[in-house]
Amino acid sequence: MRKLLPCLLGLSLSAACGQAPEPYWVDFTVRPSADGAEIVAEVSGGPKTAWVGFGVGPGASPQLVDQISGVAAFSATGEALEIEPTGRAGYRVEAKGEPWRLTYRLRLRPHAEDHSFYRASTRGDDYLVLAGSDAWPRFYADPTPLTRPPEARPAGPISGATARFQFSASDPAWTVVSTAWEETPNTFAMRQHPVGSVFALGPFDTVQLPDAAGLRIALHRDWDIMPSQIESLLEELMMSHREMLTAPDSVNALALLSPMPRTLSVRGGLRTAGMVRGQTLVVYAAKAPAIPTNHPDIAEAMAVFLGHELFHLWVPTGVQVTRELSWLSEGWAMHMGRRAAVATGWLDQAAGTRRLGLSYRRYLDIGGYRAGSLPAASTGPEDQRNLLYLRGELVFRLLEREWDRANPGEPFERALWSALEGAYDGVEPLDSATVRTILTDLVDATTVRRYVEGQAPLTPDALGLAGR
């Protein structure tokens, strides 16, 4: 008996210390239909009891999860598994520790706007963008994430996933565009759960830019902004960034260009919006009908805007930064967008300086002179976003001017990029302390304290905008 007790205790400890289940691996198959899509998710890994929660990506409407129906679970042999609703758009599935299948339907309302920049249709002139996680399921090992609202659910313990899109032979006009991970026709391998991926279903024409290797364009058939020039514009801007910064490793990027949803009015001449997910750039744009397609002001504005968005393939895609450094990502993108537009000849130097002067006046109009540090603006409320962009761009101009005085002929942007790239290990995002050290190695520490950390106001003299 004395020998049996230690043995039983050993067995108990062994069971208690057993390894956690392997993370989930999910293979999605999407079949577009007349009113949405039918999705099958083949699941392996995970615990015997799986918790599934549908969610949406940033900016998408949480109501998207209400358009999901017919959720069911089956074993690999087709046997129905026990599934029970849990909270809003959440489910408990008794998976028995074996591979299993989740099926559901996503109803998409034709010509309806679910939220800003997310379309919901697979017919006509509309298209479906699965960006972020528009109604994709997340898989969990416990029910805790299901208590969160759909827009706040984490990705879950996913080790990998693939997505396959299958189309009806009677509808050959529809294509899939995604970022670089096509294994076989209509099979796209994702590096992570779809929460970080972009897929677009729709009437797109894809173009490979020969001189900007690694960058493709997916152009929606209704795109009407500089239609005869957009390819050369993107190519020249991409090449300009590469000349100034050198190319990040393994760039195989996609620029997805779509018209602005018709439900969003165009105030003024041009309205644009951009979003970068991984190595996919999603761009929306629309102009007022009265403005000619190739109006020079449109070309200037698009060059600055697209230069900004393309820059995000370097920061934060090529080098990740923490949230309090979003000023570095956005402010530098504003600065480099304008630099690239001037360098490629789409914006002349005088016009660029005038536009920067207008930015400075907007900065003053929204109370920028009262703002604190750039890191504080980075973590502040959404209504500080314009301030963050403007102040960041102005600070980068100031840093560049100081660097140029001490290092004539040596580009500041390349020195900064080289330092950031050298400090980044490819895994952990750079933090404020690391970037502060890098900046004080490039410019005077007093300059960093005064303008990055907000101890002094930005003045026209400091910015080189005196008299403008």
> Around 221, how many Cα atoms within 13 Å sit in the side-chain half-sphere?
11
Identify whether residues 156 and 246 lie together within a single domain: no
Check which CATH number belongs to the domain holding 124 and give it.
Answer: 2.60.40.3650
Identify whether residues 321 and 436 lie together within a single domain: yes
Identify whether residues 246 and 191 lie together within a single domain: no
Q: Is residue 439 part of a domain?
A: yes
Of 125, 201, 191, 206, give the one whose Cα is nearest residue 165: 201
User: What is the model's pLDDT at position 97?
Assistant: 87
CB 105 within 8 A of CB 135: no
Taking 70 as the threshold, does the pLDDT of residue 318 lie above it?
A: yes
Residue 80 is classified by DSSP as: B
Taking 90 as the threshold, does the pLDDT of residue 412 lie above it?
A: yes
Lowest-confidence segment of 170-179, 255-264, 267-276 by average pLDDT: 170-179
Identify whether residues 194 and 211 lie together within a single domain: no
Q: Is residue 359 part of a domain?
A: yes
What average pLDDT does the segment 71-97 reach?
95
Taking 60 as the threshold, does the pLDDT of residue 194 lie above it?
A: no
Taking 90 as the threshold, does the pLDDT of residue 407 lie above it?
A: yes
CB 394 within 8 A of CB 359: yes
Taking 90 as the threshold, does the pLDDT of residue 211 lie above it?
A: no
Check which CATH number belongs to the domain holding 425 and give it.
Answer: 1.10.390.10
Q: Is residue 12 part of a domain?
A: no
Lowest-confidence segment of 169-173, 215-219, 311-315 by average pLDDT: 169-173
- Per residue in 350-359, pLDDT (tens digit) is 888 888 888 8
What average pLDDT does the segment 394-415 reach?
93
Residue that is last in its domain, among 202, 231, 255: 202
Taking 70 as the threshold, does the pLDDT of residue 233 lie above it?
A: yes
What average pLDDT does the segment 281-303 reach?
85
pLDDT category of residue 4 using cuts at 50, 70 and 90:
very low
Q: Is residue 96 part of a domain?
A: yes
Identify whether residues 170 and 227 lie together within a single domain: no
Q: Is residue 5 part of a domain?
A: no
Task: Quote the pTM value.
Answer: 0.76
pLDDT category of residue 16 using cuts at 50, 70 and 90:
very low
Q: Is residue 18 part of a domain?
A: no
pLDDT category of residue 8 using cuts at 50, 70 and 90:
very low
What average pLDDT does the segment 384-413 reach?
88
Q: Is residue 7 part of a domain?
A: no
Taking 70 as the threshold, does the pLDDT of residue 239 lie above it?
A: yes
- Strand 90-94 to 49-55 pairing: antiparallel
Lowest-confidence segment of 39-48, 233-242, 276-285, 390-399 by average pLDDT: 276-285
Residue that is last in its domain, among 202, 230, 262: 202
- Per residue in 244-261, pLDDT (tens digit) is 988 765 567 888 888 876
Identify whether residues 51 and 189 lie together within a single domain: yes
Burial 30-59, CB ≥16 within 10 A → b, else e: bebeeebbebbbbbbbbbebbbbbbbbbee
Higher pLDDT, 408 or 465: 408
Measured distance CA(280)–CA(252) in Å, rounded: 9
User: What is the model's pLDDT at position 108?
Assistant: 67
Measured distance CA(361)–CA(457) in Å, rounded: 14
User: What is the model's pLDDT at position 265?
Assistant: 64
Query: Quick one: three-class SS letters along 92-139?
Result: EEECCCCCEEEEEEEECCCCEEEECCEEECCCCCCCEEEEECCCEEEE
Domain count within the chain: 3
Name residues whose C-beta falls within 8 Å of residue 304's C-beta, 6 or more positions apart in sequence. 337, 338, 341, 347, 355
User: What is the model's pLDDT at position 253?
Assistant: 80
Identify whether residues 192 and 139 lie together within a single domain: yes
Higher pLDDT, 371 or 242: 242
Taking 80 as the threshold, does the pLDDT of residue 106 lie above it?
A: yes
Identify whether residues 220 and 188 lie together within a single domain: no
CB 410 within 8 A of CB 442: no
User: What is the model's pLDDT at position 196?
Assistant: 55
Identify whether residues 349 and 468 lie together within a single domain: yes
Measured distance CA(49)–CA(44) in Å, rounded: 12
Taking 90 as the threshold, does the pLDDT of residue 162 lie above it?
A: no
pLDDT category of residue 413 using cuts at 50, 70 and 90:
very high
Residue that is last in its domain, among 251, 278, 307: 307
Identify whether residues 72 and 163 lie together within a single domain: yes
User: What is the model's pLDDT at position 77?
Assistant: 93
Quote the domain boundaries for residue 130: 24-202
Taking 50 as the threshold, does the pLDDT of residue 7 lie above it?
A: no
What average pLDDT does the segment 161-179 reach?
67
Identify whether residues 184 and 218 lie together within a single domain: no
Higher pLDDT, 59 or 390: 390
pLDDT category of residue 199 using cuts at 50, 70 and 90:
low
Please provide the average confidence, as pLDDT, over all residues in the chain.
80
Identify whether residues 72 and 214 lie together within a single domain: no
What average pLDDT does the segment 450-462 reach?
87
3-state percent breakdown (helix, strand, coil) of the chain, nearest 5: 35, 30, 35
Q: Is residue 14 part of a domain?
A: no
